[in-house]
A and B are shown apart, each in its own frame.
Chain A
Amino acid sequence: MATTACFIIVSRNDIPIYEAEVGSATKREDAAQMHQFILHAALDIVQDLAWTTSAMYLKAIDRFMLLHDSRNDDGIKSFFQEVHELYIKILLNPLYLPGSRITSSHFDTKVRALARKYL
């Protein structure tokens, strides 16, 4: 199945700290910008929703955001959980400054592997 998805992590100050395009569909040229635009617009919804529930997984969106066409809630949920775990590991590194960009290539490889596995 040709699916396409775009995944970003946003820091608390609404600055994207990690972005990845995942998915197998042939890309339209403007897809990347389009995805970013939609995700950034979605941040507003996050802000409204975030304080009404204590769940990390908002069903819609969270600090980790994924834009997807395939409908596969369970897969997405486990994807988020595992990426969150990776994110904590990055965060625990004393040399990583919270809120700065994640540049680790290992992180990138792992996220992409997870995306292939779950999405």
Chain B
Amino acid sequence: MIGVGKIKQYSNVLEKPLSKGKQEVSLSAFAFLFSELVQYNQTQVDNIAELERRLEDAGYAVGARVLELLCHRDKGNRRETRLLGILSFVHSTVWKVLFGKVADSLEKGTEHEDEYMISEKELLVNRFISIPKDMGTFNCGAFVAGIVRGVLDSAGFPAVVTAHFVPMEGQQRPRTTILIKFAEEVLRREARLG
């Protein structure tokens, strides 16, 4: 088994040092755990929206913790107060820690001022997922959307975050877009800060 025997035992979580970053987890282990998460939640719900909401909630708890940890570890106890700052924090720092790479793109929505999109050609959680026809628009990226919402919300930028498939020309698999729609108060504050 991986890692058994070498890990030092601590009597309490408070004794454990925080700075130990960059530990990688096997992809198959993660994929297995994630598929179990989806399957379990599937047994608990009777419609797709509810399933997505549950995945999002699971992600939210991750996001809230990731934010606090990364602020401490990578940013020397500084927090982001500006909208673009927090977005690029999510796009680069958070993505790197979670998926080992920066997200493929970060764009501003063309139709609405308050919408931003983070796109990923092959999102880690969707890599081994194919959606059956009868599940319609269901997207397991809801978990990642939840993480993003958790980070943003805890940093004081409440937003509605959803995951969508966007078909790409010349490619078999659609890419996944995480759509972030900020709450009105965030934009008002942003305008005030200039």
Contacts and interface: CB of A to CB of B under 8 A. Distances in A.
Interface of A: 12, 50-57, 81, 84-94, 98, 104, 106-107, 110
Given A85-B72, A91-B65, A94-B61, A55 B78 contact: yes
B74 interface: no
A54 B76 CA distance: 11
A93 B68 CA distance: 12
Given A52-B81, A91-B69, 16 more contacts: A12-B156, A50-B81, A51-B81, A51-B189, A54-B78, A54-B80, A54-B81, A55-B78, A56-B77, A85-B18, A89-B13, A89-B14, A90-B13, A91-B65, A106-B12, A110-B14
B78 A12 contact: no
Contacts of B12: 106
A54 B81 CA distance: 6
Contact of A93 (B13, B72, B77): B13
B77 A81 contact: yes
A51 B65 contact: no
B53 interface: no
Contacts of A50: 81, 156
Contacts, number: 58
B18 A89 contact: yes
Contacts of B64: 91, 98
Interface of B: 12-14, 16, 18, 61, 64-65, 68-69, 71-72, 77-81, 85, 154, 156, 189, 193
Instruction: Count chain B CB atoms within 10 A of each CB in A54, A55, A87 and give the residue with the most.
Output: A54
Contacts of B80: 54
Contacts of A53: 81
B86 to A, nearest CB: 10
Nearest to B77: A56
Contacts of A57: 77
Contacts of A85: 18, 72
Contacts of B156: 12, 50-51
A56 B79 contact: yes
A107 B14 contact: yes
A89 B16 CA distance: 8
24 contacts: A12-B154, A12-B156, A50-B81, A51-B81, A51-B156, A51-B189, A51-B193, A54-B81, A56-B78, A84-B72, A85-B18, A86-B14, A88-B18, A89-B13, A89-B16, A89-B18, A90-B14, A91-B68, A91-B69, A92-B65, A93-B13, A98-B61, A98-B65, A106-B12
